[in-house]
Chain A
Amino acid sequence: DGGITQSPKYLFRKEGQNVTLSCEQNLNHDAMYWYRQDPGQGLRLIYYSQIVNDFQKGDIAEGYSVSREKKESFPLTVTSAQKNPTAFYLCASSIGTRLTDEQFFGPGTRLTVL
Chain B
Amino acid sequence: AQSVSQHNHHVILSEAASLELGCNYSYGGTVNLFWYVQYPGQHLQLLLKYFSGDPLVKGIKGFEAEFIKSKFSFNLRKPSVQWSDTAEYFCAAPGPIYSGAGSYQLTFGKGTKLSVIP
Contact count band on B: 20 to 34
Stretch with Cβ within 8 A of B (4 or more), from A11-19, A62-70, A75-83, A103-111: A103-111
Alpha-carbon separation in the docked complex, A92 to B38 (Å) = 14
**Contact A58 B49, beta carbon cutoff 8 Å:** no
CB within 8 Å for A106 and B98 given contacts A40-B9, A42-B110, A50-B103: no
Q: Which residues of B contact A44 (CB under 8 A)?
A: 108
Residues from 3 to 50 in B contacting A, C-beta threshold 8 Å: 4, 6, 9, 30, 32, 34, 36, 42-46, 49
Smallest Cβ distance from A56 to chain B, in angstroms?
5
CB neighbours of A50 from chain B (8 A): 99-100, 103
CB distance from B34 to the nearest CB of A (A): 8
**Chain A residues positioned under 8 Å from B108 (CB to CB):** 35, 42-44
Number of interface residues of A (CB under 8 A): 26
Q: Does the CB pair B43–A107 fall under 8 Å?
A: yes
The proximity string for A residues 89-114 relative to B, scoring 1 for CB distances below 8 Å and 0 otherwise, is 01010000111101101111000000
Q: Is the CB of B105 within 8 A of A40?
A: no
* Nearest CB of A to B13, in Å: 20
Write the residues of chain A forming the contact surface with B, with a CB cutoff of 8 angstroms: 33, 35, 40-45, 48, 50, 56-59, 90, 92, 97-100, 102-103, 105-108
Interface residues, chain B, with chain A CB atoms under 8 Å away = 4, 6, 9, 30, 32, 34, 36, 42-46, 49, 51, 90, 94-96, 98-100, 102-106, 108-111
